[in-house]
Each structure stands twice: as structure tokens, then as C-alpha cells.
Amino acid sequence: MWRKVLPADVLRAYEDFSSRSLARIPSALERLIYIASTRDYNSGLYHHEGLAARFDPVAAAKALEYAHAEVFHEVSLMPLGKLSDELEKYMQSAKEEPLAFLTAWQKLEPYRVAIPMHVDPTVAELFVSNIKIALAVLRYRLPKEAGHQSGASLPPSPAPRSLPQFRS
């Protein structure tokens, strides 16, 4: 993939973030969700306590934005087989009832918050499209793997987990 030339301070912050935080997250989808969680929903600004303490806050925010765009492209252009596997792993790590997880993701489409602000619109469309298909794949696999054990009427667990905590 073509890489943008970053200013030196942003590059240092990006490399630090990649080696300290991102390297510990095994899948690209989880990395994407983690980076998206560092962005404020209201302002669209990125903030990471550890990174902002070690680097200039503006450079840290730009490093996060760049990392977000990079991982987003990686996930968007991922083959469906791999994406389905990563989504399944994420679903398992969320420790949520699989059927409840799939229903929430298909109806509420929370994955849309993982789309960076400035991104090629076709890539964003491809991302949404691929996640929809991967969810359909997981739903199809579900009855076979779960042996029809979970009822569709089960409500979500009372204390749903939020995004996994990877922060350093």
C-alpha cells in the first residue's frame, strides 16, 4: 500500500503507537475498533493518554488518524474469508451471546463508527459491504457450530461488554 510521508514527530508517535499498542492486538479488525475508540464521537478528534503524554498532543492525534486510515484500508480490502474469521474471533472476545452479537451488529451497524472521517468513499462502501457479508457468513455458520443451542429470542446479557481494553 502507498504510504503517506509523515512529519518526523508524527512518524515517531506513529511508530511508538504501533510498537507499544497495535503490536499487542492480534487481528486487524480489533486494531481498527481499538483505534476508532480513541476518536471522540462528537468532535472527531483522536486522543490517547499514553501517546499524548509522550509526544506533542497534535502529533499524537495525527499519528492516530494515520494509523486509523492505514488499518481501515487493510480491513476494507481484506478477503472475505479472512474478514469472517477475524470477525468471529472478535465476537468470541466480546464474550457476548453470538446470536445477540450478530443481531446487534446487523441491526445497529455499530461498525460504521470505525470509518475514518477522510477516506475514499468507495473504500468506505466496500468496508460496510464486506462487514455485512461477513456477518451473514457468521450467522449462517452459527446454527451448525452452536448446534441450535441459542434461541433467537434471548435478550442481550444485562451487562454488555464494551470495546476490549487494549490501551497501554
126 contacts another protein (rule: CB under 8 A): yes
Identity of the residue, 110 or 140, whose beta carbon is nearer to another protein in the bound complex: 140
List alpha helices for the chain, DSSP H: 8-20, 28-36, 49-54, 57-76, 80-93, 98-108, 121-146
Select from 48, 16, 34 the least CA-distant residue to 94.
34
Burial of 42 (0-12, 13-18, 19+ CB in 10 A): exposed
Does 43 contact another protein by CB under 8 A? no
Residue 145, interface with another protein (CB under 8 A)?
no
Question: Which residue in 16, 96, 119, 166 binds another protein (CB under 8 A)?
Answer: 119
Residue 109's region, left for phi above 0, alpha for psi from -120 to 50, else beta, is: left
CB of 70 to another protein, least distance (A): 12
Part in contact with another protein (CB under 8 A); list of ranges 15-23, 50-58, 99-107, 126-134: 126-134
Among 42, 118, 147, 155, binds another protein (CB under 8 A): 118
120 binds another protein (CB under 8 A): yes
